[in-house]
Amino acid sequence: MNMLAPSRPRMSVEIVFDFVCPWCCMGIRRLISVFRQRLDIETHYIWRPFLLNPTPQNDGIDFNDYLESRHGSRERADRLLRLIEMQAHEFDCSIHFDRIHHVPNTMNAHRLIEWASARGDCNSLVLAIFEAFFQNGDDIGNPGVLAEIASRQGFDHDLALHFLSGQTLVGTVTAGQIQAQKAGINGVPSFIIEGLALTGVHDAPALNRLMDAAMWVSGRHEDLRFGAPRMSSFSQRA
């Protein structure tokens, strides 16, 4: 270890998201990839829940029923799904809607991330859950499925399954949903750094400008190159 090497500033990135949102799958994968290449910063991710379907039955709903309720007809939904799959390829993300037959309640998935975050880095777990749903069509509301995904990312399978079999942290996830709404979050994915917010799927230049602006706001950058909107950070509003 080079003791003379300057330490990198540590920047916290708050990500408000849901696991059944394809734009979250694309946007989060791109953001992590871009910030992994920033050798001037050390990035710490804070995962914030935003349940797009907070009131469906615990076992979720049929995918076709979900599409028709959201888009009116399967034909209109199919056109949208094809466009999303094409956009996903542009962001180096693979989405296969034909493999999805069931839209799960994502409470358990968000509970798992809350649990895993207290035990270490869970970035790979977040990405693995997205992959399980959008690439494989797995039921990510099922505790057994989630525990297996967690075990492949280095977490103890039996501990994860035992946790998921109960209701621990349901209140935490529900509170996170309320906090997001109070903070003015009405679209996902939303990325917040030093009170600067960016919503949606963005390319590398936009994400780097957001980080540069956040570093300037925090006093760790010399010039401002991005006019991002200012808002209270999600953690401060919690």
Which pLDDT belongs to residue 111? 98
pLDDT tens series, the chain, 238 aa: 455 555 788 899 999 999 999 999 999 999 999 999 999 999 999 999 999 987 656 778 899 888 888 888 888 999 999 999 999 998 889 999 999 999 999 999 999 999 999 998 999 999 999 999 999 999 999 999 999 999 999 999 999 999 999 999 999 999 999 999 898 888 899 999 999 999 999 999 999 999 999 999 887 654 433 344 444 344 333 3
Rg over CA atoms, the chain: 18
For residue 93, give the nearest of 33, 13, 35, 14 by alpha carbon.
33
Longest Cα separation, the chain? 63
Give tens-digit pLDDT for 65-78.
Answer: 888 888 888 889 99
Which pLDDT belongs to residue 150? 98
Which pLDDT belongs to residue 9? 86
Strand ranges inside the chain, DSSP E: 10-17, 42-49, 61-62, 102-103, 190-193, 196-199
- Please give the Cα distance from 107 to 91 (Å, whole number): 27
Which pLDDT belongs to residue 57? 61
Separation of CA 160 from chain center:
20
Residue 91 makes CB contacts below 8 A (sequence gap 6+) with 26, 27, 29, 30, 201
Q: What's the pTM value of the predicted model, to 2 decimals?
A: 0.88
Strand partners, 192: 14, 197
Sheet holding 190-193, edge to edge: 42-49, 10-17, 190-193, 196-199
Amino acid at 81: L
- Please give the Cα distance from 194 to 186 (Å, whole number): 19
- Please give the Cα distance from 181 to 177 (Å, whole number): 6
Domains and CATH numbers, the chain: 10-237 (3.40.30.10)
